[in-house]
Structure 1
Amino acid sequence: MVLAAQFMALLDVFIVNVAAPTIGSDLDASGADLQLVVAGYAITYSVLLITGARLGDRFGPGRVHLVGLALFTAASLACGLARGSTELIVFRLVQGAGSAVMIPQVLSLIQRTFSGEARVRALGVYSAVLAVGAAAGQVAGGVLVDADLLGAGWRPVFLVNVPVGLVLLVVGGRVLPRGGGLPGRSTADVGAVKERTSGAAARKGARRMDWPGLVLLGAAVSLVTVPLVLGREKGWPLWSWCSLAAGALVFLLFCGAETRLARRGGDPLIAPRVLGHPGMALAVLRVTAVMAVNGGFLFVLTLHVQGGLGFSALRAGLTFAPTAVVFGAVGLTWRRWPASWQRALIPSGFALLALSVVAVGLLFRGGADGGAWLYAAYAGVGAGLALAFSPALTGALAAVLPEDAADAGGLLATVTQLGQLIGVAVFGTLFFNRLESLGALEAYSSSEALLTCMFALATTAALGAVSGLVLRRR
């Protein structure tokens, strides 16, 4: 049941990505508005994710999951009924908050319930849900927008969550535990899990809320995101640069506050001890890089194929399917590949990702439709993303100590969303800047803007691999 909710939340991300150009036309939304519609969800989701996990610790994962699901469902209804871009952006922020309360319970339960090889298998199923949700979201978004049900246009991409959410609320109310225990476990089993994962946290009970840390992290993310998205349309005024500088300063204050809280024996939002675990800093860097490439690639490519080439929403959704399908296939099978290959998987994934995104840009160059080779390039992107992401995430989570598992899972889940947010904000801005310098949104100028972004994405992928090698040597 909780994986069904995970699937719905992920589906919504990719459905909205395909529907973005149609939303822009219907609501007369600017490029910055579209970036905020797509990225707004990730802003609140990433900032509130760890707090959502701690709410599950305090009040029980079943109860908190249902609260988040109810908020997500209500926000989906509000998004579907929004009459303007500003309303839609606000409700997307609320939708992200609902996901932040609902989704952490899934990964948290995996981390607390399983260990060793069982944890790896459970994470494999979790990855499969991510992959299937990504593929289904692209296609479902195209189908719903093209169908134009009752003349509703893009609105069904949000409204489809309402009946699904209501069904899950009814089912979840009957099968999910309302207390703080783990579902599906006997009292003795729960005691064993607590004994294994406790340490100081279990002796103290539920983790305390780090409200100052939450405020500082939210402020830092907002101060950086808003000028990146709005600065281009405003001509990069002085306030945008001041906001970026303030965001960096607030982030440093956040790091200092978290360190001091940890030294006092408190429960920081992001524990420095977890970041100091061998391989964790490297995993954070790689996950951020690969998800930034993923978010930027999907966003700018959607704008090009629908806005520049005039593809229908359905055709655009089907175009992206090979990337998601290959991502899922590779993500589920890489552990069974020869042991001698394992250490080279992540660098090879980044390299393949860099080559593949450049190939996509070159195949679209001059306003071309890409041809048959485009699908091979899409498959390369999917394989590269999987090889750069799945081994890094799984290796980091499988290696942490049981008492740090929840914090490590929350950290990497937060980084995953922040990476997506960075990708949409940075590469979306680069696309619109380049397009503006070339002229109207036509096939040729759009393809040139896309190619610029693809080279930038390839550079990011290359830095992800090289920086990882540098950190490992250190």
Structure 2
Amino acid sequence: MNQPNRATTAERASRTVLSTADPQTAEKVKPDSPAGAPKRPGLILATILVGYFMALLDGSIVNVALPSIHEKLHASGAGLQMVAAGYIIAYAVLLVTGARLGRILGHERLFKAGLAGFTVASLACGVAQNTGQLITFRVVQGVAAAVMLPQVLSLIQQTFQGEARARAMSAWTAVLASGIVVGQVLGGVLVTANLFGWSWRPVFLVNVPIGVVLWVVAARTLPSVRPPSTGAGNKVDLAGVLTLSPTILALVVPLVLGHDEHWPVWGWVLLVGSVPLLALFLAVERRVAARGASPILPGRVLRRPGIKPSLILIFLVMVVYAGNLFATAIHLQGALGFSALRTGLAFAPCAASFGLVSFYWRKIPAHLVRRLALVGLLIGAVAMAAQIPMFKDGGYGGGWFYVDQLVLGFGIGLGNAPTMTLALLNVPVTDAADASGTLATTAQLAQVVGIATLGTLYLSVAPGKALHSAGHAMAALSVAAMAVTLVAAVFAHYLYRLDRRQRQAAATTATAATAA
């Protein structure tokens, strides 16, 4: 006897997430059609996921290279933050536009174009001669990533069917979850190896041979699907892009540069100005929707149950995650004298636990996931609190630091990993792509804000220069991160109660239907 109400989280989540690719594209490749059967599906999946992983790594791989960049290029604290954040700023601003362009021009075309641009920009970063050049090429990297990465989910949708698609999605989730932290580890390995005496440069140059090989394989294997020629979703929301971009820049740039520039007047003007710019963006989006066009931020998506609190929860968690990684990497090397390799490996426990939780959370029964997300964030807050005594006296806790990293990755992963997928459960298939893009953009923008705000807090509290900060700066950062994580836990609790009410309402409806 079938029991649909007892479907696992994996089954429910897979049905929803798999629909987030372009529905019009999905119609072009029928699940049971012989023409839809891909050649070398394993090679296709490996190609797009390695490209995806490579771009995710570059969001964090540079963190452990910052002291070397500071030494070789004489970069300021603000310059180091821009090297780290410039990539994610460009990515966050243009991610949704990249997804829309894929629908218009073809997902495989945009993947290859983004991969080519990313590879060339990586080469340019690797040979940069000063901080200004490095920041510029990092932004170009971010633009290329925004073109390439949104195509991965759609390529999985159009290439795989049934159980193969579910497995591909699980692999995609694991890559998404672990990419940031693995970047820290790999960065440490490359900087310590000091290949050819190039110091920090291999952190970027390693992308070049990988990118070339991936492009050749992608050109030979990726399925080509002609994009649809009609529909509101086949136009770029230029007005939205032109108003969202300055809004984000007005918020982030003062946060990144303010400390090093001693908080100038122009910084405060930009921060205040970001509020009316946000209002302007929302007004523009409403007008775009009223015309029957497809805005970057569809209002109907935000009105779906659970979407807004999920966005806030994801934003807060990623602020803590990215900001803590950025500051801790600088602190371990600058204040405690860790090598780049030792610093990178210090994050391995966090990467392992975060990745495993993100891969296996789908096996948790659906009715327990929301409750465990709350518990996970509380565990994450405790792990952040445990950092305070570890750092405040100038140490790092020895072996307990690594245990704490393991616990932190577990808690944050359990709180964050299911939220994006579960947020899509109540979104219609026609809106699923926009909802997924909105959630992904939120996560990327949160990384920028995390580096800017928590990074600025660390630099402001630390005596002297950023690379010679004291333990009490990390203790202050840990207090702030703990507080933000607790706020995220409040939203997790709200989502749990909302989910419980929806289940009760569904059960009541089912009972009434049975009685009738």
Q: Normalising by structure 1, report the TM-score.
A: 0.90
1:184-224 CA-to-partner distances (Å, cap 9, x unmatched) read: xxxxxxxxxx9xxxxxxx96275211111101111001111
1:264-309 CA-to-partner distances (Å, cap 9, x unmatched) read: 2111011111111111112111110111111101000001100010
CA distance in 2, matches of 1:270, 1:303: 36
The equivalent of 1:391 in structure 2 is 418
From the superposition, tell whether residues 312 and 383 of structure 1 become closer, same or farther in structure 2 (CA, over 3 Å): same
User: Is this contact kept in 2: 1:346–1:389, CA < 8 A?
Assistant: yes
Deviation at 1:385, TM superposition (A): 1.6
Paired AA for residue 110 in structure 2: V
The equivalent of 1:102 in structure 2 is 148
SS at match of 1:13: coil
Once the two structures are overlaid, the 10-residue window that deviates more, 271-280 or 125-134, is 125-134
Mark the structure with the bigger radius of gyration: 2
CA distance in 1, matches of 2:217, 2:198: 29
The equivalent of 1:3 in structure 2 is 49
The equivalent of 2:202 in structure 1 is 156
Alignment of 1:411 with 2:438, yes or no, is: yes
Alignment of 1:26 with 2:50, yes or no, is: no
Deviation at 1:459, TM superposition (A): 0.7
The equivalent of 2:398 in structure 1 is 371
SS at match of 1:369: coil
Deviation at 1:315, TM superposition (A): 0.1
SS at match of 1:366: coil
From the superposition, tell whether residues 111 and 420 of structure 1 become closer, same or farther in structure 2 (CA, over 3 Å): farther
From the superposition, tell whether residues 114 and 462 of structure 1 become closer, same or farther in structure 2 (CA, over 3 Å): farther
The equivalent of 1:451 in structure 2 is 475
Alignment of 1:349 with 2:395, yes or no, is: no
CA-atom RMSD, angstroms? 2.2
Deviation at 1:93, TM superposition (A): 0.4
Deviation at 1:364, TM superposition (A): 2.2
User: Is this contact kept in 1: 2:178–2:354, CA < 8 A?
Assistant: no
CA distance in 2, matches of 1:169, 1:110: 17
Counterpart pick for 1:322 among 325, 349, 364: 349
* Count of aligned pairs: 452
The equivalent of 1:169 in structure 2 is 215
Deviation at 1:346, TM superposition (A): 1.7
Once the two structures are overlaid, the 10-residue window that deviates more, 32-41 or 335-344, is 335-344
From the superposition, tell whether residues 234 and 133 of structure 1 become closer, same or farther in structure 2 (CA, over 3 Å): closer
Paired AA for residue 240 in structure 1: G
Deviation at 1:472, TM superposition (A): 7.4
Alignment of 1:463 with 2:509, yes or no, is: no
Once the two structures are overlaid, the 10-residue window that deviates more, 101-110 or 39-48, is 101-110
Counterpart pick for 1:231 among 238, 258, 268: 258
Counterpart pick for 1:222 among 244, 249, 260: 249
Q: How does 1:163-202 map to 2 (within 5 A)?
A: 163-180=209-226
CA distance in 2, matches of 1:12, 1:373: 28
The equivalent of 1:420 in structure 2 is 447
From the superposition, tell whether residues 275 and 115 of structure 1 become closer, same or farther in structure 2 (CA, over 3 Å): farther
The equivalent of 1:308 in structure 2 is 335
What 5-or-longer segments of structure 2 have no aligned partner? Answer: 1-46, 499-516
From the superposition, tell whether residues 111 and 404 of structure 1 become closer, same or farther in structure 2 (CA, over 3 Å): farther
Q: Percent identity, aligned pairs only?
A: 46
Paired AA for residue 486 in structure 2: A
User: Is this contact kept in 2: 1:57–1:207, CA < 8 A?
Assistant: yes
1:344-387 CA-to-partner distances (Å, cap 9, x unmatched) read: 12211221111111212321221113211111110111011211
The equivalent of 1:191 in structure 2 is none
Counterpart pick for 2:104 among 49, 53, 58: 58
The equivalent of 2:276 in structure 1 is 249
CA distance in 2, matches of 1:115, 1:396: 23
From the superposition, tell whether residues 245 and 119 of structure 1 become closer, same or farther in structure 2 (CA, over 3 Å): farther
Deviation at 1:233, TM superposition (A): 1.8
From the superposition, tell whether residues 259 and 117 of structure 1 become closer, same or farther in structure 2 (CA, over 3 Å): farther
User: Is this contact kept in 1: 2:379–2:407, CA < 8 A?
Assistant: yes
CA distance in 2, matches of 1:115, 1:31: 48
CA distance in 2, matches of 1:269, 1:111: 21
CA distance in 1, matches of 2:449, 2:190: 28
CA distance in 2, matches of 1:325, 1:454: 21
Deviation at 1:136, TM superposition (A): 3.5
Q: How does 1:111-126 map to 2 (within 5 A)?
A: 122-126=168-172
The equivalent of 1:38 in structure 2 is 84
CA distance in 1, matches of 2:282, 2:162: 31
Deviation at 1:14, TM superposition (A): 2.3
Deviation at 1:441, TM superposition (A): 5.9
Deviation at 1:114, TM superposition (A): 7.8
Once the two structures are overlaid, the 10-residue window that deviates more, 394-403 or 3-12, is 394-403
CA distance in 2, matches of 1:114, 1:349: 32
CA distance in 2, matches of 1:203, 1:457: 46
User: Is this contact kept in 2: 1:262–1:268, CA < 8 A?
Assistant: yes
CA distance in 2, matches of 1:136, 1:233: 29
Paired AA for residue 100 in structure 2: R
1:142-174 CA-to-partner distances (Å, cap 9, x unmatched) read: 111011111110000000000111111111111
Deviation at 1:119, TM superposition (A): 6.9
Counterpart pick for 2:461 among 421, 431, 434: 434
Deviation at 1:109, TM superposition (A): 3.9
The equivalent of 1:49 in structure 2 is 95
What 5-or-longer segments of structure 1 have no aligned partner? Answer: 182-193, 195-201
Deviation at 1:131, TM superposition (A): 3.8
Deviation at 1:177, TM superposition (A): 3.3
Counterpart pick for 2:173 among 127, 139, 159: 127
Deviation at 1:259, TM superposition (A): 1.4
1:49-69 CA-to-partner distances (Å, cap 9, x unmatched) read: 111111110111001111111
Paired AA for residue 146 in structure 1: T
Counterpart pick for 1:295 among 296, 305, 322: 322
SS at match of 1:265: coil
SS at match of 2:234: coil
The equivalent of 1:185 in structure 2 is none
From the superposition, tell whether residues 43 and 318 of structure 1 become closer, same or farther in structure 2 (CA, over 3 Å): same
From the superposition, tell whether residues 44 and 440 of structure 1 become closer, same or farther in structure 2 (CA, over 3 Å): closer
From the superposition, tell whether residues 442 and 391 of structure 1 become closer, same or farther in structure 2 (CA, over 3 Å): closer
